[in-house]
Structure 1
Amino acid sequence: MGFSSKAMAASSDPLGVLQILWESLHLPIKSGQLFFPILLLSLLSSSLLFFCYFSIAPIPLDLVSKISILLEETNHRPPDLLLDIERDLRDFAGLATSITLFFFFSSLFLVLATLYTFAMAYSNRNITPKDLLLRIARRWYQTMITRLYVVLLTAGLGLLSSLGVGTAKLVSDGSSAAFSFGLSLAGLLLLLYLYLLTRWSMSLVIAAVEETWGIGALSWSVELYIGNKKRGIVLTLMLLAIKVAIYGAFAAVMMASGPPQPTEAPMAIVYIVAAADALWDLYSMAVYTVFYYECRKSHGLEYTGLHAALVRVNAVVVH
């Protein structure tokens, strides 16, 4: 009896950052056969995304060169330069919008499928492909609305940050005090972004697993985040650092190969980066899934009751 009570106490102890990262590594294995198609679709989606954007990259490069000619003080401009710029803008806007919308919705279904699969694996529940498809059919709209809130909030934070840094740069006089103020402001903005990004990422898990969504999911993430800020910020910082390293290595390789020529870029490197990006995104979702349940546990909310409710909801949908 004493041993069982010790085991129960140990199981309820909060996990540290490294323990969360380690536990997240086990979720793909615990997901069983469902993880394999998710992995394949994630690799395919990421590769197609990189390929599509590299395919249309010559258009904005050509557009920049034409705009630079337009801004030059010369009388030797092509006669139809403005028409060419307008056509390039229209072509790029149409292609970029189509690609962005397609991958927004494809990634939406992948994110929902991945988060729900990892959540069930964490709670030691076996689900069938039919269960997963039913969940996607029931929750895709709610997850999409939650994700749109996250996108808008991220864009708003980026705009406010740009305005703040720009204002600080305009009023600065180039002194060391102004430089220190700029560094302090950048550091505060980074901490704010890490703080908010952790909550926003957890709100997507909530939308996929719980029955709330949108503002409700964002509000629920605020409550669960109380008392878990340090772990959340450190986790997000580590995940973002690896993400930046992936793209930094890609940029370094491309710059080392000479002038930027997207159409002639070695596609092997592109696909390697796409695969690394897809794998890291899957792992990041596993980390936020474990962190979400750790936040629930820290507030005395075990996940067994939640999933019992989900079972009842799915049973209603089936019948």
Structure 2
Amino acid sequence: MGFSSKALAVSSAPLSVSRILWESLHLPIKSGQLLFPLILFSLLSSSLFFYCFYSIAPIPLDLVSKISILIKETKHRPPNLLLDIERDLKDFAGLASVITLFFFFCYLFLALATLYTFAMAHIDIDLTPNDLLLRISRRWYQTMITRFYIVLLTIGIGILSSLGVATVLLEADVSRPVFRFGVSLAILSFLLYLYLSTRWSMSLAITAVEETWGIGALSWSVELYIGNKKRGMVLTLMLLVVKVAIYGAFAAVIMASWPPRSKETPMGIGCIIAAVNGLWDLYSMAVYTVFYYECRKSHGLDCAGFSVAPVTVTAMQ
């Protein structure tokens, strides 16, 4: 009896950040047969995403060169320069919009499938491909709404924070207290991003696992986040540092091999980096899945209140 009580106390104790990261490594393995299609879809979508934007990169580069010619006061401007700029803007806006919209839905389905798969693996519920497809068909719209709110909030807060910090720094001198205030504002903005990003990531897990979505999922993440802010922000910071390191490695390799001997060199390197980034995104979802359950546990909740069990049973009948 004493051993059982001790084991129960250990299992119910809150996990540290390092323990959450460790437990997250086990979720892909516990996912069984569903892991390979998730990895394959993530690798393909990440590499294709980079390839698409790399393919249209000459358009904005050419656009920048034309705008620089337009700004310069010279009598040797090419004829119809303004028309060429307008045409490039329309071409880039059209292509970029289509690509962004396509990969918005790619990430949407990948996030829903991955978070639900990892959630079921975490609570040891066997999930078949039919179960997963059924869940995706039932929850893709709700996940899209939640994701749409997150995108809008991210853009809005990003613009406001950038404008505030840039205004303070541009109007200040390095030696003045206003500059230090601008730096402090930038740090506070970054901490705010860590705080909100963790909540938003957890709201996607909530939408995938539970029946609430949209504003309901965002509100529920606020309640679950109470008492777990420190662990959540540290986790997001660590995941963000690795992601920045991935893109930093890409920039370093490109600069080291510049100018490339062929056009395929930077594209190949970029696809490799994109694939690594895709795998890291899968691991990040596993981390937020474990953290989501940790937040539930910290509030005295368990999987008994989920609607996942009836959904799985229905799918299996």
Quickly name the TM-score band, shorter chain normalised: over 0.9
Equivalent pairs: percent with the same residue?
74
Specify the SS of the correspondent of 2:75: coil
The residue that corresponds to 1:60 in the other structure is: 60
Could you list the runs of 5+ residues in structure 2 that have no partner in the other structure? none
Within 2, Cα distance between the matches of 1:65 and 1:261?
23
The correspondence of residues 1-319 of structure 1 with structure 2, limited to 5 A, is: 1-258=1-258, 263=263, 265-306=265-306, 309-315=307-313
Aligned residues: 317
8 A contact 2:135–2:311 mirrored in 1: no
| Cα deviation, residue 90, structure 1 | 1.0
Partner letter of residue 234 of structure 2? V
Change (3 A) 1:222 1:261: farther
Return closer, same or farther for 1:170/1:268 CA change in 2, 3 Å cut-off.
Answer: closer
Equivalent residue of 2:184, what SS? Answer: helix
CA contact (8 A) 2:200 2:218 kept: yes
| Partners of 2:131 and 2:316 within 8 A in 1 | no
How far apart, in 2, do the equivalents of 1:141 and 1:107 lie?
A: 13
Contact 1:47/1:271 (<8 A) preserved:
yes
- Kindly provide the CA deviation profile for residues 77-99 of structure 1, in whole angstroms up to 9, marking residues without a partner as x: 11121111111111111111111
Q: TM-score, normalised by structure 2?
A: 0.96
Aligned equivalents of 1:259, 1:92: Cα separation in 2: 25
TM-score of the pair, normalised by structure 1: 0.95
Taking the aligned partners of 1:228 and 1:80, their CA distance within structure 2 comes to 59
Aligned-residue offset at 1:142: 0.3
Report the CA distance between 1:170 and its aligned residue. Answer: 4.2
1:172 Cα deviation after fit: 2.1
How far apart, in 2, do the equivalents of 1:154 and 1:272 lie?
Answer: 27
Q: Distance in 2 between matches of 1:218 and 1:210?
A: 12
| Structure 1: gaps spanning 5 or more residues | none
Alpha carbons of structure 1 residues 121 and 317: separation in structure 2 relative to 1, 3 Å: closer
SS of residue paired to 1:266: helix
The one-character-per-residue Cα deviations of 1:266-313 (angstroms, maximum 9, x if unpaired) are: 33311210111001000000000000000000000012442xx32224
Query: Partners in 1 of 2:209 and 2:179 — Cα distance?
Result: 45
Return the offset for 1:318: 7.3
Deviations 1:210-255 (A, max 9, x none): 0000000000000000000000000000000000010011112212
Measured after TM superposition, the shift of residue 36 of structure 1 is 0.6
3-state DSSP of counterpart to 1:126? coil
Provide the aligned C-alpha RMSD in A. 1.7
Instruction: Quote the Cα distance in structure 2 between the aligned partners of 1:311 and 1:217.
Output: 19
**2-side partners of 1:42 and 1:160: how far apart?**
32
CA distance in 2 between partners of 1:115 and 1:152 (Å): 21
Judged with a 3 Å threshold, the aligned counterparts in structure 2 of structure 1 residues 284 and 109 are, in CA distance, closer, same or farther, namely same
Mapped to 1, the partners of 2:57 and 2:183 lie a distance apart of: 33
Inter-partner Cα distance in structure 2 for 1:240 and 1:261: 32
Which SS does the other structure have where 2:258 is aligned? coil
Distance 2:47 2:163 in 1: 34
Per the alignment, in what secondary structure is the counterpart of residue 77 of structure 2? coil
SS in 1 for 2:269: helix
> 2:195·2:233 contact (CA, 8 Å) conserved in 1?
yes
Are 1:55 and 1:262, in contact at CA under 8 Å, matched by a contact in 2?
Answer: no
Deviates more, 1:4-13 or 1:159-168: 159-168
Aligned partners of 2:253 and 2:65: how far apart in 1?
24
